[in-house]
Structure 1
């Protein structure tokens, strides 16, 4: 099966497909996916820390995805051409940001792995171990 560019619908489908997931709405109706009460995918509302450097307009399409470690975060954000980024607000926070408008720069397979890893980083040890055993990762 050939990979294809990732889309916003994929974010929702992959996150919702993980076990024990609850989708909640943020204060402005933004989707948040949680496992055991812990967020692992969060559609952000426009914030001052993520804006177009040329126009100053706040990005309206930022998705925050948790990562396992700072080294995972650096691996995704260190290439300035990569669609992943972070801001000073998230220094020390185990997450990366990506604009929905840039999702197509990664494949659905990479997005799937990223969201599965985000889920694993927030799920309880028992849930994570069960999922890993079933998926032989």
Structure 2
């Protein structure tokens, strides 16, 4: 127990709390060299070097509720470093991440915004950082990693 009487240090409890959609925006925009453009419906698309790494998708026919057939209105796309990273996320039955045939061969995963709370802030932070790193230039990625590691 922490000296304050809390079961965990404040920093740890903040990192282990459930993530929110607002956290997606804050984390993505908080990465270096990020710009935000808006899609046709005003949906935010976070980019580094004009390359998208997180975006809020318009409802599309490939992501639908299996019971109602309604298009999901709240899909968020995150780039991933590799196909194996993608498969690890989408094959885990406890994970909120999924993919569709439209994204076959595309290094990204999907998650419904309504399910972001199934992730901890720490997990979401890693997803956003990995997304940024997978799309940033090698120079920007190396600079960020060196700064992050404190070197």
Give TM-score scaled by structure 1 length.
0.98
4+ aligned runs moved over 4 Å, structure 1:
none
**Counterpart position of 1:124:** 137
Count residues in correspondence.
Answer: 137
Query: 1:81 offset after TM fit, Å?
Result: 3.1
**Counterpart position of 2:38:** 25
**Counterpart position of 2:125:** 112
Give TM-score scaled by structure 2 length.
0.89
Mapped partners of 2:147, 2:47: distance in 1: 20
What do you get for the CA RMSD once the two structures are aligned? 1.0
Verify: 1:90 aligned to 2:103, yes or no: yes
Mapped partners of 2:143, 2:135: distance in 1: 14
Question: Aligned to 2:72, what secondary structure does the other structure show?
Answer: coil
**Which structure 1 segments of 5+ residues have no match?**
none
**Counterpart position of 1:44:** 57
Query: 1:136 offset after TM fit, Å?
Result: 1.3
Map 1:69-88 to 2 at 5 A: 69-88=82-101
Query: 1:34 offset after TM fit, Å?
Result: 0.1
**Counterpart position of 1:60:** 73
